[in-house]
Amino acid sequence: MWSRFATPMGMSRRHFMSHMAGAATMLGSSLSLGHSLRVHADTLKANRKSCILLWMGGGPSSMDIWDLKPGTDNGGPFKPISTSGDVQISEHMPMMAKQMHHMAIVRSMSTREADHNRGRYYMHTGYVPDPNVDYPSYGAVIAHELMSQRPELAIPPFVSVGGASEGPGFLGMSWAPLNVSSNGRIRNLDSGLGKERIGQRQIALKAIEDGFIGQRRGTLAEDHRKVLGKTYDLLGSEQMKAYEVDKEPQEAKEKYGINGFGQGCLLARRLVEAGVPFVEVDLGGWDNHQGIFRTLENDRLPVLDRAMAALTEDLDQRGLLKDTMIVWMGEFSRTPRINADAGRDHWARAWSVVVGGGGIKGGQAVGATNADGTEVVGEPYSSEDLMASVCQGLGISLETTFTSRNGRPMKIANSGKIIKELFS
Amino acid sequence: METHRIFANFHAKGCFDAVDRCVFAIAFFVLGTGISTHGVAADKRDVAPLPPQVEKIDKALQQGWLEADVRPSPSEDELKWCRRLFLDVIGRIPSYDELAEFAKDKSSGKKQNLLNRLLNDDRYTEEYANHWGTVWTNVLIGRNGGMEDRTLTNRAGLQKYLRDSFARNKPYNDMVYELVTATGTTKPGSENFNGATNFLAMKVNEEQGTQATAAVSRVFLGLQVQCTQCHNHPFNKWQQQKFWEFNAFFRQTRALRKYVSGTRDIDHAELVNQDFAGEGRRPEQAEIYFQLRNGVTKVAYPVFLDGTEIGKSGFVSEVNRREELGKLMMGSSYLDKAIVNRMWSHFLGYGFTKPIDDLGPHSPTSFPELFDELAKDFRNSSYDLKQLITWVTMSQPYQLSSRITNSNSKDDPSLGETPLFSHFYTRQINAEQLYQSLAVATQANKAGSLEEQAKRRDDWMRQFVIAFGTDEGDESTSFNGSIAQSLMMFNGELIREATSIAPGSWLQNLAQQKGAPSDKLQHLFLAGLSRRPRSEELNIANQILVARKQDVGGMLQDMWWAILNSNEFIFNH
């Protein structure tokens, strides 16, 4: 479907065939084994890029975290503090304050989708919801584009930890996220059967599966076969050890925080180290229509601060941050005006996202909002622009065009413009 | 038969028992013939005439195919059509015996006869009610409804209400009225129990009842208004004022928490109407306020979407706002269109609009005249859902094969094309259908009451639900063709049980029956896929049997695993 690369089915098929090997001797010559392809994994490893999206479901309040307005009616009680970069952030993010030289805040996001579902879709895809076209989300796009850097990868390239993420759209179900909880446990991995037995079953399955596809029953039937291939790959792979976050030393677990998001970020680091190109980690609870300051100070910000700082520091210390982008965002932000329930409602017109690693120039704030935080001052940036910038940071060409099966060309990141200050 | 030649080396005898029930039935399967492409039956001598809506649908679609220059696929094989009908009408695949019963019917009205059995035979009342109760529970409260922390929703209570409604074939409009106006408690067995209260129980207390506003308008009227809560929407005719006027209907309603005595644990909730003072504290004229984006504050009173106003009083004794809303909804043509669209999409994979619950003027509509007429006809049929099911399932588009041909390959709504329904759209069955299908195919459905079965299924379902954690209760499912689903189908407990060959299991029983392995394999394929095995499949089964030293049970187990894991099984096609 993408014009630049053929779908890398070859690997799935190769693995599929190797699982068949035991059974094939039984079945005689009807199956021929795929030709195993040797790759120079180490040289590819040196250049491979990854992305970790910290998804803040519900819409966190920029004005209380990254773009404070002390002393104004809208400002709320939190005070800004200085950081290791040339920016100030909330006093309740003290650990991140020490990592801000790696991170850039884009304070001039301005979007129009203030409904959760629409906003989540738009920020994940760069497209507003369209009943007629199902667009692929960040994880599917990036996994698809970066797979060629890691032909040895046998585990799913798009992982969503603790949340649903968004789907693969027209790229098809074989690019869907593997949803896992933050303890890294994946259900139903063990069949309790020997290799030969599994191989026999898979041969029988293949016959039924292929027969159905041969009857032209639509693309879903073909996607099903691709997903089977990816599942076979995963089942036989040593790389699944990356999910064993429990095996991390206790001090590492505590550094990230003993909670879902903390352990999810630790799992994300392990997955990136194993070569997974895209991991999304979900932290919900930002839909603070009431009692926002108490919730942020006592609950959400301490969790976020600890995990995000630990992840940034760890990636940096391991030399991975230059090739790994961290993206922090939610579907929108919250109203500058504080409502009658001491909460903030949905606000998409002026807000912040944070990016770092992967060649991003850290320690800076790009763009600004006006004195009361209601409007962007200067050039506003969109989901498309952010996505284009992430692609740039990951070395994905913005000339990449997808051609859907009906021949309609669609540019990656919906023709967004690179936010230049991030790379200067 | 070729089948038996291939299997001749299974047994030196190669014989099978002619009076064996299974073989007897197969003889009938073989005789099945194709059906006419025009409607259900060309020869209607021994059949009640089809309702005129069937012809109406056929004509409109045929005209559409002509104009779009596509040709419909041929009719689907009858046994596969039978599988399709079972899945859509009662939520599971047919058992082997049910397939045989269908195949045995030689009349030209066999399809109608089958539909009549599923809709009206006492044997199926429970399953019919259970299936539609499940479908509507998911529509009304989602798959996560009732599972939230400190929830006020009693999922079983809603299911019970819905099951009872569908079992009695309650007119659709009555059901909607009851759900919108319900008062009482949420939990079965509690005093003043009314399961219908569970639709709104979690949608009225928070955020001024905006969840109730959005859900009632979307589900029952096909109008998406949630975006207009905060601002006028550029491409939605319904503006912010309308949203709050509609919202005003829900402002007398509260869900009261009832605690387990002596604790702060919520036992259940009671949905009540209370006098509403209004935000201006004048109950005789209870108004609400909302703010435009430019900061200007506006006032709203209850006004229906067609502009009809009701009394402004907030006293329940003077104006019961939800009851007034219910009555106004009963007169709206959106009520009719929303349900026709939902049912059409249920059976044919896509609605007349995309998405099905967005009938706003900005949504392009396919077959608009047909859509209008069916909506009117449904109102005139006294909202009889079984009638509507008959119109759709007996019409030509529902008979068509899901095989795409060269002359209709451009009819692909997944590419954003307007659906023409010139072939059946292959789609994945949902997790509930899988569960029920396995329960029947493996005869694991005998244990426990309906409530217990529903609870077991809901517990199993939870692994697939991913909640987004927003106030709207949005959610997603991982039973969507993903790797997680594949892993469950490979190795999950449900599949292990379904493929068990322990003593007393259905596979073990099948293995021990009289007859050749080939017959038993046919039984498996018919039970799972509603077709006989192909020669290459028989061939593989044969080789597995050889490799497993003639262990028929083991061979059946492997083949059944393969059938369950196939695309052909997991899709409704």
Test B571 with A221 for CB contact under 8 angstroms: yes
pLDDT of residue B83: 98
User: What pLDDT sits at residue A30?
Assistant: 32
pLDDT beyond 50 at B520: yes
Are residues B355 and B326 part of one domain? no
- Measured between beta carbons, which residues in chain B are less than 8 angstroms from residue A209? 566-568
Chain A residues with beta carbon closer than 8 angstroms to that of B487: 186-189, 231
Residue finishing a domain among A199, A222, A238: A238
Q: Are residues B278 and B381 in the same domain?
A: no
Distance CA A363, CA A352 (A): 15
DSSP assignment of A312-376 equals HHHHHHTT-TTTEEEEEEES-EE-SS--TTS---EE-SSEEEEEESTT---SEEESEE-TTSSSE
Interface membership of A221 toward B (CB under 8 Å) = yes
B510 with B537, same domain: the answer is yes
Percent helix, strand, coil in chain B, to 5, is 50, 5, 40
With respect to residue B474, please indicate whether it lies within any of the assigned structural domains.
no
Q: Does residue A72 sit in the same domain as residue A32? A: no
Asked if the C-beta of A339 comes within 8 angstroms of chain B's C-beta atoms, the answer is no
**Do A138 and A204 have their domain in common?**
no
Percent of chain B's residues with pLDDT above 70: 87
Measured CA to CA, the distance from residue B397 to residue B401 in angstroms comes to: 9
Measure in Å the smallest separation between the Cα of B359 and chain A Cα atoms. Answer: 12
Number of domains chain A is built from: 2
The answer to whether residues A108 and A3 belong to one domain is no
Chain B within 8 Å of A39 (Cβ-Cβ)?
no
Mutate to test the interface with A, among B414, B501, B539 (most CBs of A within 10 A): B414
Report, in angstroms and rounded to the nearest whole number, the Rg of chain A calculated over CA atoms.
23
Give, rounded to a whole angstrom, the gap between the first and last alpha carbons of chain B: 27
Q: Say if A43 falls within a structural domain.
A: no
Q: Is A58 on the interface with B (CB under 8 A)?
A: yes
Mean pLDDT of B58-74: 97
Domain boundary, last residue among B321, B354, B385:
B385
- The pLDDT, as a whole number, for residue A15 is 42
- A112 and A202: one domain? no
Q: Are A365 and A329 in contact (CB under 8 A)?
A: no
Residue A44, domain member (yes or no): no
Q: Are residues B136 and B261 in the same domain?
A: yes
pLDDT surpassing 80 at residue B64:
yes
Q: Is residue B564 part of a domain?
A: yes
* Residue A31 touches chain B, beta carbons under 8 Å: no
Contact B491 A191 (CB under 8 A): yes
Residue B229's pLDDT is 66
Same domain flag for A266 and A366? yes
Residues 393-412 of A with CB under 8 A from B: 404-406, 408
Residue A45 lies in a domain: no
pLDDT of residue A225: 95
pLDDT of B45 > 70? The answer is: no
Contact B571 A213 (CB under 8 A): no
Asked if B486 and A231 come within 8 Å (Cβ–Cβ), the reply is yes
Q: Residue A217: its chain B contacts at CB < 8 A? A: 402-404, 426, 567, 571, 573
Least CB-CB distance to A207: which of B206, B405, B536?
B536
Query: How does pLDDT run across A82-100, given as a tens digit for each residue?
Result: 999 999 999 999 999 999 9
Same domain, residue pair B326 and B209: yes
In a domain? residue B523: yes
Predicted local distance difference test score (pLDDT) of residue B361: 77
Closest CA to A103 of A386, A404, A328, A417: A328
For residue B41, is it within any domain?
Answer: no
Residue among B78, B57, B46 at smallest CA distance from B394: B57
Q: Give B208's pLDDT tier (boundaries 50, 70, 90).
A: confident
What's the number of domains chain B is made of? 3
CB A221 within 8 A of CB B426: yes
Residue A334: which residues within 8 A CB-CB, separation 6 or more?
A: A59, A60, A61, A62, A63, A288, A292, A343, A344, A345, A346, A347
Which of A196, A222, A238 is the endpoint of a domain?
A238
Residue B421 lies in a domain: no
**Which tokens belong to A96?**
């991140």
Q: Looking at beta carbons, which residues of chain A come within 8 Å of B403?
A: 215-217
Residue B32 has pLDDT above 80, yes or no: no
Assess B563–A contact: CB distance below 8 Å, yes or no.
Answer: yes
What pLDDT shows up at residue B220? 97
Pick the closest to residue A396 from A122, A47, A159, A81 (CA basis): A47
Same domain, B261 and B149: yes
Per DSSP (E only), the strands in B183-287 are 184-185, 253-259, 266-273
Q: Which residue has the higher pLDDT, A191 or B270?
A: B270
CA B475, CA B468: separation in Å to the nearest integer? 5
Contact status of A186 with chain B (Cβ, < 8 Å): yes
Q: How confident is the model at residue B399 (pLDDT cuts 50, 70, 90)?
A: very high
Calpha distance B86→B163 (Å, rounded): 18
| Distance, CA of A145 to CA of A243 (rounded, Å) | 23
Q: Are residues B261 and B299 in the same domain?
A: yes
- Stretch B494-517: mean pLDDT: 92
B173 and B237 in a single domain? The answer is: yes
Give the Cα separation of B96 and B98 in Å (integer): 5
Q: Specify if B38 maps to a domain.
A: no
pLDDT at residue A316, as a whole number: 97
* Partner A contacted by B541 (CB < 8 A): yes
Q: Which residue in the block uniquely carries the two structure tokens 């903030």?
A: A344
Pair B190, B234 in one domain:
yes
Residue A63 and residue A161 in one domain? yes
Which of A257, A265, A379 lies closest to A328 in space, CA to CA? Answer: A265
Same domain, A147 and A10: no
Indicate if the pLDDT at residue B1 is higher than 70. Answer: no
**What pLDDT, on a 0 to 100 scale, did the predictor assign at position B36?**
36
User: Which of B230, B231, B547 is closest, CB to CB, to A26?
Assistant: B547
pLDDT recorded at residue A12:
40
Provide the pLDDT for residue A264: 97
Residue of A nearest to B429 (CA): A220
Distance of CA A281 to the CA centre of its chain: 7
Q: Rounded distance, CA A242 to CA A51, Å?
A: 16
Instruction: Tell me which of A102-111, A316-325, B37-46, B229-238 is least confident.
Output: B37-46
**B144 pLDDT band (50/70/90 cuts)?**
confident
Q: What is the pLDDT of residue B7?
A: 32
The confidence score (pLDDT) of residue B400 equals: 98
Q: Is A227's CB within 8 Å of B483's CB? A: yes
Q: Which residue from A211, A15, A19 is spatially nearest to B539, judged by alpha carbons?
A: A211
Question: A132: which chain B residues are within 8 Å (Cβ-Cβ)?
Answer: 354, 416-417
> Helix B450-461 and helix B431-441: axis angle, to 10°?
130
Asked whether the beta carbons of residue B537 and residue A156 sit closer than 8 angstroms, the reply is no
Q: Please name the residues between 283 and 312 in chain A that touch chain B, using a CB distance below 8 Å.
A: 284-285, 287, 289
List the domain range (segments joined by +) for residue B274: 132-330
Residues A302 and A352 in one domain: yes
Contact A216 B405 (CB under 8 A): yes
| Pair of tokens at residue A334 | 């919250």
**Are B481 and A227 a contacting pair at CB < 8 A?**
yes
Return residues 462-481 of B near A (CB < 8 Å).
Answer: 463, 466, 468-472, 474-476, 478, 480-481
Provide, rounded to the nearest whole percent, the portion of chain B with pLDDT above 90.
69
pLDDT of res. B40: 52
- In angstroms, the separation between the Cα of residue A166 and the nearest Cα of chain B is 9
For A181, which residue in chain B has the nearest alpha carbon? B466
Query: Which residue out of B210, B414, B567 would a mutagenesis test of the A interface target, given it has the greatest number of A Cβ atoms within 10 Å?
Result: B567
In the predicted structure, residue B27 carries a pLDDT above the cut 50: no
Q: How far is residue A158's CA from residue A278's CA, in Å, rounded to a whole number?
A: 5
Residue B493 clears pLDDT 50, i.e. is over it: yes
Q: Say yes or no: A278 and A394 in one domain.
A: yes
Q: What is the CATH number of the domain that holds A410?
A: 3.40.720
Among B6-10, B380-384, B399-403, B502-506, name the one with the lowest average pLDDT. Answer: B6-10
Among B363, B385, B407, give the residue marking a domain's end: B385
A233 lies in the same domain as A165? no
Give CA–CA dist B471/B248, Å, rounded. Answer: 20
Does the beta-carbon distance from A133 to B416 stay under 8 Å? yes
For residues B250-260, average pLDDT: 95
* Interchain pair A208, B227: CB under 8 A: no
Q: Nearest chain B residue to A346 by CA: give it.
A: B230
> Is A423 touching B (CB cutoff 8 A)?
no
Residue after which a domain boundary falls, among A175, A204, A238: A238
| Any B CB within 8 A of A120 CB | yes
Banded pLDDT at B573 (limits 50, 70, 90): very high
Contact status of A356 with chain B (Cβ, < 8 Å):
no
**Across the interface, which of B412, B426, B562 has its CB nearest the CB of A204?**
B562
A26 touching B (Cβ < 8 Å): yes
Residue B41's pLDDT band (boundaries 50, 70, 90)?
very low
My answer on whether B341 and B246 are in the same domain is no
B363 — alpha (psi -120 to 50), left (phi > 0) or beta? beta
SS3 of residue B153 by DSSP: coil
- Look at residue B484 and tell me if it is in a domain: no
Q: Which position has the higher pLDDT, B296 or A277? A: A277
Residue B472's pLDDT is: 65
Q: What is the mean pLDDT of residues B502-510?
A: 92
CB distance from B486 to chain A under 8 Å?
Answer: yes
Domain shared by A358 and A414, yes or no: yes
B265 shares a domain with B310: yes
**Could you tell me if B412 lies within 8 Å of chain A, comparing CB atoms?**
yes
């074989």: which residue's tokens? A174
Domain that holds residue A6: 1-38+185-238
Query: In sequence order, what are the residues at sequence separation of 6 or more whose Cβ sits closer than 8 angstroms to the Cβ of residue B234?
Result: none
Please tell me which of the candidates B463, B481, B569 has its beta carbon nearest to residue A187: B463
Please choose, from the candidates B50, B42, B49, B44, the residue with its C-alpha nearest in 3D space to the C-alpha of residue B389: B50
- ipTM given for this complex: 0.88
Residue A26 falls inside a structural domain: yes
How far is Cα B87 from Cα A33, in angstroms, rounded to an integer? Answer: 39
pLDDT band, very low/low/confident/very high, at B237 (cuts 50, 70, 90): low
Q: Which residue has the higher pLDDT, B443 or A93?
A: A93
Q: Per the domain annotation, does B395 fall within a domain?
A: no
Residues in chain B within 8 Å Cβ distance of A231: 483, 486-487, 490
Residue of B403, B463, B478 lying closest to A216 (CB–CB): B403
B480 and A173 in contact by Cβ < 8 A? yes
Instruction: State the Cα–Cα distance between residues B35 and B48, nearest whole angstrom.
Output: 18
- Inter-chain CB proximity B490 and A188 less than 8 Å: yes
- Residue B10 has φ and ψ, to the nearest 5°, of -65, -50
State the DSSP H helix or E strand holding residue B334, giving kind and residue range, or none if neither: helix B333-348
A244-253, A391-400, B407-416, B564-573: range with lowest mean pLDDT: B407-416
Among A321-335, B14-28, B450-464, B546-560, the least confident range:
B14-28
Q: Are residues A12 and A63 in the same domain?
A: no
pLDDT on residue A131: 77
| CA dist list (Å): B519 to B6, B9, B362, B522, B537 | 12, 14, 56, 5, 13
Alpha carbon distance A37, A14 (integer Å): 9
CA distance A330 to A60: 6
pLDDT in tens, A113-157: 988 989 999 999 999 988 778 899 999 999 999 998 898 999 999
Host H or E run for residue A158: strand A158-161
Tokens of A417: 């413009």
Q: Are residues B372 and B323 in the same domain?
A: no
Is the pLDDT at B75 greater than 90? The verdict is yes
Nearest to B89 by CA among B383, B473, B346, B420: B346
Q: pTM for this structure? A: 0.87
Indicate whether B471 pLDDT > 80.
Answer: no
Closest alpha carbon to A48 in A157, A166, A167: A157
pLDDT band at B122 (very low <50, low <70, confident <90, very high): very high
Neighboring chain A residues of B427 at a CB cutoff of 8 Å: 220
Judge: B403–A235 Cβ closer than 8 Å, yes or no: no
Buried b / exposed e over B516-540, threshold 16 CB at 10 Å, is: bbbbbbbbbbbbbbbbbbeeebbbb
Tens digit of each residue's pLDDT, chain A (424 residues) = 333 333 333 334 344 334 444 444 444 333 333 333 334 445 556 679 999 999 999 999 999 999 999 999 999 999 999 999 999 999 999 999 999 999 999 999 999 998 898 999 999 999 998 877 889 999 999 999 999 889 899 999 999 999 888 989 888 888 999 999 999 998 899 888 888 999 999 999 999 999 999 999 999 999 999 999 999 999 989 999 999 999 999 999 999 999 999 999 999 999 999 999 999 999 999 999 999 999 999 999 999 999 999 999 999 999 999 999 999 999 999 999 999 889 999 999 999 999 999 999 999 999 999 999 999 999 999 999 999 999 999 999 999 988 766 667 888 999 999 999 999 8
Nearest CB neighbour to A187, from listed B487, B547, B565: B487
- The predicted pLDDT at position B28 comes to 38
Mean per-residue pLDDT over chain B, rounded: 87
Please determine, for residue B273, whether its predicted confidence score (pLDDT) is greater than 50.
yes
Separation in Å, CA A8 to CA A59, A174, A229, A410, B289: 36, 11, 11, 20, 56
| Cβ-nearest to B492 among A188, A221, A346 | A188
